[in-house]
Amino acid sequence: MKQFLSFVRKEFYHVFRDRKTMLLLFGMPIAQILLFGFALTNEIKNTKIVVCDYAHDPMSEQVIAKLEASKSFDVVKQLMSATEIEAAFKADNIKLAIVFPNQLYQELNHNNKATIQIIADGSDPNTATTVTNYATSIIQSYMRDKFPQPDLLQINTEVRMIYNPELKGTTNFVPGVMALVLMLISVLMTSVSIVKEKESGTMEVLLVSPFSALMVVISKAVPYLVLSFVNLIVILLLSVFLLDLPINGSLPLIVFESLLLIITALSLGLMISNITNSQQEAMIVSLMGMLLPVMIFTGFMFPIENMPKPLQVISNIVPSKWYYTIIKAVMIKGVGFASVWKETLVLLGMTLFLLVISIKKFKTRLG
């Protein structure tokens, strides 16, 4: 019994001395609880919307004020004409547009009914349905508060979905899967590949060869770059021919942006290989360390604007968030480079930064 307790105590010492094991045992569960607790919510908060008020009467102004007072919506712009709505959806990440007809109050008094048009971005069907329901609920709440007998007066809401009128889930699902697959596969495969060489002792043989360390890294990364590119082609083909999802934007632009993300992921895989000493460690760090951030902070599963401000800030350092925004805009909305150049610059900056740091750390670690 005494020997058994000594052995157990020795194992505890081994665990407590290993910082990586302690981080996996305690740090990761805490991080998961915090992330899932704050990020996973069905509430709609701070959703960006625009309004087009042709009426300019007290009723339309009061409804707009009620929308602005709601925590669900953030009225970022009042448009002069309905012709500006599509440009706002493409340029400003707008989820909803509300159009008040001319002479809203007079029409309601004369005909006992009026119609307010609600236009939603159907490229994210779940969010589109939810925000239209929220907006309709706010308008109906205004009617109940304003009129003693609201049943005698009706303000109908005419809902129209753009980009995805049939509300197909694949419209939101495909760009998200592209971001998830390209990011995780590239990171995991690169980190495991290089660690495998170190674990087996063949990395030293490669480094004493006539090739430089940089050439060794590139030669290890190129196969996974090619395989990831093949994954991209397969996803696009399945999307078009099997899921009936048309590509409305530029295919070369989609390929270019995807290559940027793949190179970013390869650089991250190289960084992970520098901090791990076994394939098992590399797999755990790659899967557990990347899976949750990519799933939560990319935006295709849970709206980022619903999260607390600190988590929204953290989401900006996740490359797949910027890639998802770009691909969704290009593939679904059909925009060109002029509409996504800011996001592209951010992703390009991340790619260059991670690539330089990864190569530098790799040389330092092996030197």
Residue-number span of the structural domain to which 109 is assigned:
47-162
CATH number at residue 145: 3.40.1710.10
Q: Reduce the DSSP state of residue 208 to 3 states and report it.
A: coil
- Statement to judge: residues 94 and 208 lie in one domain: no
Q: What is the pLDDT of residue 7?
A: 46
- Statement to judge: residues 208 and 296 lie in one domain: yes
List Cα–Cα distances, 159 to 49, 131, 244, 311, in angstroms.
Answer: 14, 11, 24, 32
In a domain, 34, yes or no: no
pLDDT digits (tens, 9 = 90+) for 111-159: 777 888 999 988 888 888 888 988 888 888 888 887 766 555 666 777 8
**Within 13 Å of residue 176, how many CA atoms lie on the same side as its CB?**
19
Q: What is the pLDDT of residue 362?
A: 65
List Cα–Cα distances, 54 to 74, 111, 278, 304, in angstroms.
Answer: 20, 18, 65, 32
In a domain, 215, yes or no: yes
Q: What is the pLDDT of residue 115?
A: 85
Distance, in Å, from the CA atom of 94 to the CA atom of 339, rounded to the nearest integer, reads 13
Q: What is the pLDDT of residue 15?
A: 55
Name residues whose C-beta falls within 8 Å of residue 83's C-beta, 6 or more positions apart in sequence. none
Q: Which of 101, 131, 162 is the last residue of a domain?
A: 162
| Distance in Å from the first CA to the final CA of the chain | 47
- Statement to judge: residues 182 and 76 lie in one domain: no
In a domain, 10, yes or no: no
In a domain, 42, yes or no: no
- The two tokens of residue 57 are 């009467």
In a domain, 138, yes or no: yes
- Statement to judge: residues 51 and 71 lie in one domain: yes
Q: What is the pLDDT of residue 257?
A: 93
- Statement to judge: residues 52 and 107 lie in one domain: yes
- Statement to judge: residues 303 and 328 lie in one domain: yes
In a domain, 14, yes or no: no
Longest dimension (CA), the chain: 93
- Statement to judge: residues 179 and 153 lie in one domain: no
In contact, 347 and 322? CB cutoff 8 Å: yes
List Cα–Cα distances, 253 to 36, 184, 238, in angstroms.
Answer: 34, 22, 19
Residue 227: other Cβ atoms inside 10 A: 14
Distance, in Å, from the CA atom of 248 to the CA atom of 243, rounded to the nearest integer, reads 14
- Please tell me the chain's helix, strand, coil percentages from 3-state DSSP, rounded to the nearest 5: 70, 10, 20
DSSP 8-state code for residue 306:
G
Q: What is the pLDDT of residue 58?
A: 85
- Statement to judge: residues 239 and 319 lie in one domain: yes
- Statement to judge: residues 55 and 145 lie in one domain: yes
Residue 193: other Cβ atoms inside 10 A: 18
Which of 198, 182, 185, 351 minimizes the C-alpha distance to 275? 198
DSSP 8-state code for residue 305:
G
In a domain, 41, yes or no: no
Q: What is the pLDDT of residue 201?
A: 66
Q: Which of 103, 128, 162 is the last residue of a domain?
A: 162
Distance, in Å, from the CA atom of 276 to the CA atom of 334, rounded to the nearest integer, reads 42
- Statement to judge: residues 112 and 174 lie in one domain: no
- The two tokens of residue 90 are 């493409």
In contact, 340 and 326? CB cutoff 8 Å: yes
Number of domains in the chain: 2
Q: Digits of tens for pLDDT over the chain (367 positions)?
A: 665 566 456 556 655 676 765 665 566 556 655 555 455 555 677 888 999 988 888 888 888 899 888 888 888 888 888 888 888 888 767 889 999 888 787 777 777 778 889 999 888 888 888 889 888 888 888 888 877 665 556 667 778 888 877 777 777 778 888 888 888 888 877 777 777 767 776 666 656 666 566 666 676 677 778 888 888 888 888 888 877 788 888 999 999 999 999 988 888 888 887 777 777 778 777 777 788 788 888 887 778 877 888 888 888 999 999 999 999 889 888 888 988 999 999 999 988 888 788 777 765 555 5
Q: Reduce the DSSP state of residue 72 to 3 states and report it.
A: coil
Q: Element (H or E) spanning 271, and its range?
A: helix 251-275
In a domain, 25, yes or no: no
- Statement to judge: residues 216 and 81 lie in one domain: no
Q: Which of 130, 162, 194 is the last residue of a domain?
A: 162
- Statement to judge: residues 155 and 223 lie in one domain: no
CA angle 265, 268, 271 (to 5 degrees): 155
In contact, 155 and 139? CB cutoff 8 Å: yes
